[in-house]
């Protein structure tokens, strides 16, 4: 059960620590100042404020991070490639530019890590694949280029499952990433390394990727914030998979920020969002600001459970407590209207996911799958038939599935004509035991004592993956064992700033995000 909590108190701990000037948003939501913590454990905004006003140099901040890495990373294995020399050179150059009075970017001098699926010029990028163990890109992924242009100091790469194809994080090159809160629990995947690194204070910001919850599942399990951005707002060229050199990406995958505060999500969103280089001469991206100014003005939908994917008692209790907070704040709350049918939506998601994942399959393997798919009887509805037919569907079938997707998007648009956001569970449970050593067909999760399919972990996240909506995970509580619990906030297409705003409002009412042991001792 969830430990009982006192609501309507300010956030505390690292997420609310202010060691530099507070932002306006922090000033409106913080009512209690937490005890100081080392600067590298503060928010990205506070670190940047200290860099700008000269409280610390980029090189000094980097050395704080490197010292923390030496202590904290071995126990969780989140950072798998550390570019100490390159980061020191970049930090020194950032300090020179600052001293010379040159124009500075929004992330100038801030040390960060990046998911090992994002190609990074001059730095090994493997996506956890032994075949790419020596891959050193000559060009940055588009998102990485934007980070460099903003002044970020890239100090290393974080772990992923092989080719990002699991919802826990382990691979033959670097081994397993542990959850910072309990090493026997999974950090989630495929952005398990990024989420664990942010949670453990190894970086204040990360960029994760999300096709079927790969960003939001780890955020919920590790107790941090993460935003799946509206599809098309952040260029994904240079993300593996696709394979190195590919110019196209999945029609469902997005990149998004990971952070310890909602304010920091928006900071990184502002850097990442924008046209791909080829489109930049012709268009700009201006994500709309929230239309509401207080939580009480919002029209909020609440979907706390569903027979198709039951959540556990801890999660149900959490959603009830969030509902009570919303009512107390004066928000209009609707817990009965559903935008779509969860089962139908999930089936379509799976069909489209299997189809897009086949793009980089070896030719011989794909031909064998196509032959196997043709061998099933027309009326065979078994999981194997469904998988292979979806993975090898003809273009005509894909176009019809895409038409079904557009119909689903229209249903969501209708729902959001009367609701500003929808709040759902992020996951059915808190972080589950790591099952790296268990063959995939034998893996499962347990929900209130009932054995459930392994991939039920991402069913609630899958609501938005194929319909291109922004969705944000908020750390919102903890179990009696101290494991983080989270909720998901979904908004209309391109309403990324709105879901961040709702998360920011809720942060002023929810308990502080639970800190992993290495941060409780550090602070």
Other CB atoms within 10 A of residue 373 CB: 18
Residue 480 covered by a domain: yes
Distance separating alpha carbons of residues 159 and 453, to the nearest angstrom = 25
In a domain, 72, yes or no: yes
Neighbours of 196 (CB within 10 A): 33
Q: Cβ–Cβ contacts within 10 Å for residue 25, how many?
A: 19
Strand partners, 182: 179
Q: pLDDT tens for residues 258-312? A: 999 999 999 999 999 999 998 999 999 999 999 999 999 999 999 999 999 999 9
Indicate the SS3 state at residue 433: strand
Share of the chain above pLDDT 70, in %: 93
Q: Is residue 284 part of a domain?
A: no
Domain count, the chain: 2
Do 471 and 383 fall within a single domain?
Answer: no
Same domain, 326 and 450: yes
Q: Is the pLDDT of residue 30 over 90?
A: no
* pLDDT band, residue 25 (cuts 50/70/90): very low
- Residue by residue, DSSP assigns 405-421 as HHHHHHHHHHHTTT-SE
C-alpha R_g of the chain: 22
Instruction: Kindly give, in sequence order, each residue whose CB lies less than 8 Å from that of residue 320, ignoring residues fewer than 6 positions away.
Output: 304
Residue 175: strand pairing partners = 171
Task: Say whether both 489 and 381 belong to one domain.
Answer: no
Given a contact cutoff of 8 angstroms between Cβ atoms, the answer to whether 290 and 497 are in contact is: yes
Question: Do 158 and 256 belong together in one domain?
Answer: yes
Place of tokens 């959850």: 179
What six digits make up the tokens of 97? 């530019």
Distance, CA of 165 to CA of 160 (rounded, Å): 9
Q: Does residue 365 share a domain with residue 325?
A: no
Do 260 and 389 lie in a common domain? no
Pair type for strands 299-302 and 332-334: parallel
Residue 519: inside a domain:
no
The answer on 493 and 357 residing in a single domain is no
Helix ranges, 331-471 (H): 342-357, 363-374, 383-391, 395-415, 462-465
CA-based angle 289:291:293, to the nearest 5? 100
Element (DSSP H or E) covering residue 28: helix 24-29
- pLDDT tops 60 at residue 23: no
Asked whether the beta carbons of 428 and 452 are under 8 A apart, the reply is yes
Name the packing angle between helices 395-415 and 342-357 (round to 10°): 140
Q: What is the spatial distance between Cα 269 and Cα 363, in angstroms, rounded to a whole number? A: 37
**Residue finishing a domain among 405, 434, 449:** 405
Q: pLDDT digit string (tens) for 211-270? A: 999 999 999 999 999 999 999 999 999 999 999 999 999 999 999 999 999 999 999 999
What's the pLDDT at 37? 80
Look at residue 9 and tell me whether its pLDDT is greater than 50.
no
Q: How large is the average pLDDT for residues 149-156?
A: 98
**Would residue 512 count as lying in a domain?**
no
pLDDT given at position 12: 29
The residue-averaged pLDDT of 32-47 equals 80
Q: What integer pLDDT is reported at residue 1 of this predicted model?
A: 37
Residues 319, 255, single domain; the answer is yes
Task: Give percent of the chain above pLDDT 90.
Answer: 91
Local structure of 494: helix, strand or coil: coil
Residue 521, pLDDT score: 72
Name which of 139, 129, 122, 56 is nearest 94 in CA terms: 56
Does one domain contain both 244 and 329? yes
- Residue 92 is assigned to a structural domain of this protein: yes
Digit-coded pLDDT (tens) for 379-393: 999 999 999 999 999
- How far is Cα of residue 18 from the mean position of the Cα atoms in its chain? 24
Q: Is the pLDDT of residue 3 over 50?
A: no
Copy the structure tokens of residue 72. 């904290």
Task: Report pLDDT digits (tens) over 307-328.
Answer: 999 999 999 999 999 999 999 9
Q: What is the per-residue pLDDT for 327?
A: 98
Q: Are residues 175 and 205 in the same domain?
A: yes
pLDDT confidence of residue 522: 67
Give pLDDT, residue 520.
80
Question: At a CB cut-off of 8 Å and minimum separation 6, what does 327 contact?
Answer: 333
What sign does the CA torsion over 12, 14, 19, 23 have?
negative
User: In residues, how long is the chain?
Assistant: 523
Tens of pLDDT, residues 74-127: 999 999 999 999 999 999 999 999 999 999 999 999 999 999 999 999 999 999
Task: List the single range of 329-343, 344-358, 506-520 with lowest mean pLDDT.
Answer: 506-520
Higher pLDDT, 177 or 3: 177
172 by Cβ neighbours in 10 Å (0-12 / 13-18 / 19+) ranks as exposed
* Residue written as token pair 């008692």: 313
Residue 29's pLDDT is what?
A: 36
Q: Look up the domain containing 159 and give its range.
A: 14-275+294-339+416-507
pLDDT at 523 over 90: no
Cα separation, 169 vs 400, in Å, equals 34
Hunting for tokens 């194809």 — which residue is that?
165
Tell me: cis bond preceding 22? Omega within 30 of 0 counts. no
The verdict on 71 and 194 lying in the same domain is: yes
- Rounded CA separation 214/158 (Å): 14
Distance CA 472, CA 93 (A): 35
Indicate the angle between helix axes 44-53 and 262-272, nearest 10 degrees: 70
2 in any annotated domain: no
CB contact at 8 A, 340 and 306: no
Residue 287, domain member (yes or no): no
CA dist 431 and 177 (Å) reads 13
Strand partners, 157: 81, 114
Are residues 235 and 380 located together in one domain of the fold?
Answer: no
Cα 476 to its chain centre, rounded Å, is 15
**Residue that the structure tokens 């790419």 belong to:** 132
Contacts of 96 (CB under 8 A, 6+ apart): none
Q: What's the CATH code of the domain at 259?
A: 3.90.1300.10
Average pLDDT, the chain: 93
Residue 309 CA to residue 455 CA, distance in Å, equals 10
Unique residue bearing structure tokens 């691979």: 171
pLDDT in tens, 162-187: 999 999 999 999 999 999 999 999 99
């Amino acid at each position: 059960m969830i430990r009982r909590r006192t609501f309507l108190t300010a956030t505390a701990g690292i997420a609310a620590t202010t060691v530099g000037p507070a932002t306006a948003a922090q000033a409106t939501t913080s009512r209690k100042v937490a005890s100081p913590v080392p600067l590298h454990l503060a928010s990205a905004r506070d670190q940047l404020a200290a860099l700008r006003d000269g409280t610390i140099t980029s090189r000094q901040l980097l050395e704080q991070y490197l010292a923390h890495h030496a202590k904290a990373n071995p126990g969780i294995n989140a950072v798998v490639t550390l570019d100490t020399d390159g980061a020191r050179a970049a930090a020194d150059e950032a300090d020179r530019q600052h001293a010379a009075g040159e124009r500075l970017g929004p992330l100038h001098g801030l040390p960060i890590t990046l998911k090992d699926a994002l190609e990074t010029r001059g730095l090994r990028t493997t996506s956890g694949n032994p075949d790419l163990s020596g891959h050193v890109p000559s060009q940055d992924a588009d998102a990485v280029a934007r980070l460099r242009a903003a002044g970020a100091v890239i100090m290393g790469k974080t772990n992923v499952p092989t080719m990002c194809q699991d919802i826990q994080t382990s691979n033959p090159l670097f081994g397993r990433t542990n959850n910072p809160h309990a090493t026997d629990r999974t950090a989630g995947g495929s952005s398990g390394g990024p989420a664990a690194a942010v949670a453990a204070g190894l970086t204040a910001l990360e960029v994760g990727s999300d096709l079927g919850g790969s960003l939001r599942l780890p955020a919920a399990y590790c107790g941090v914030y993460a935003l799946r951005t509206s599809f098309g707002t952040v260029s994904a060229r240079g993300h593996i998979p696709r394979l190195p050199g590919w110019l196209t990406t999945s029609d469902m995958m997005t990149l998004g920020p990971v952070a310890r505060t909602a304010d920091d999500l928006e900071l990184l969103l502002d850097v990442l969002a924008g046209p791909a280089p080829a489109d930049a001469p012709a268009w700009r991206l201006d994500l709309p600001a929230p239309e509401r100014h207080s939580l009480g003005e919002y029209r909020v939908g609440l979907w706390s459970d569903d027979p198709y994917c039951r959540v556990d008692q801890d999660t149900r209790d959490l959603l009830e407590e969030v509902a009570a907070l919303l009512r107390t704040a004066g928000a209009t709350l609707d817990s009965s209207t559903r935008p779509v049918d969860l089962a139908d939506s999930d089936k379509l998601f799976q069909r489209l996911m299997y189809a897009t994942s086949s793009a980089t399959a070896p030719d011989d393997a794909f031909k064998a799958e196509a032959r196997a798919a043709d061998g099933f009887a027309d009326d065979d509805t078994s999981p194997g038939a469904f998988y292979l037919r979806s993975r090898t569907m003809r273009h005509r079938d894909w176009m019809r599935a895409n038409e079904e997707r557009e119909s689903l998007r229209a249903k969501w648009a209708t729902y959001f004509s009367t609701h500003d956001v929808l709040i759902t569970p992020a996951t059915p449970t808190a972080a589950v035991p790591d099952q790296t050593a268990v063959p995939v067909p034998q893996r499962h999760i347990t929900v209130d004592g009932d054995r459930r399919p392994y991939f039920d972990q991402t069913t609630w996240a899958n609501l938005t993956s194929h319909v291109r909506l922004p969705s944000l995970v908020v750390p919102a509580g903890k179990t009696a064992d101290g494991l983080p619990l989270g909720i998901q906030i979904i908004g209309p297409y391109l309403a990324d700033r709105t879901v961040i705003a709702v998360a920011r409002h809720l942060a002023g009412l929810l308990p502080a995000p639970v800190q992993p042991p290495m941060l409780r001792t550090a602070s």
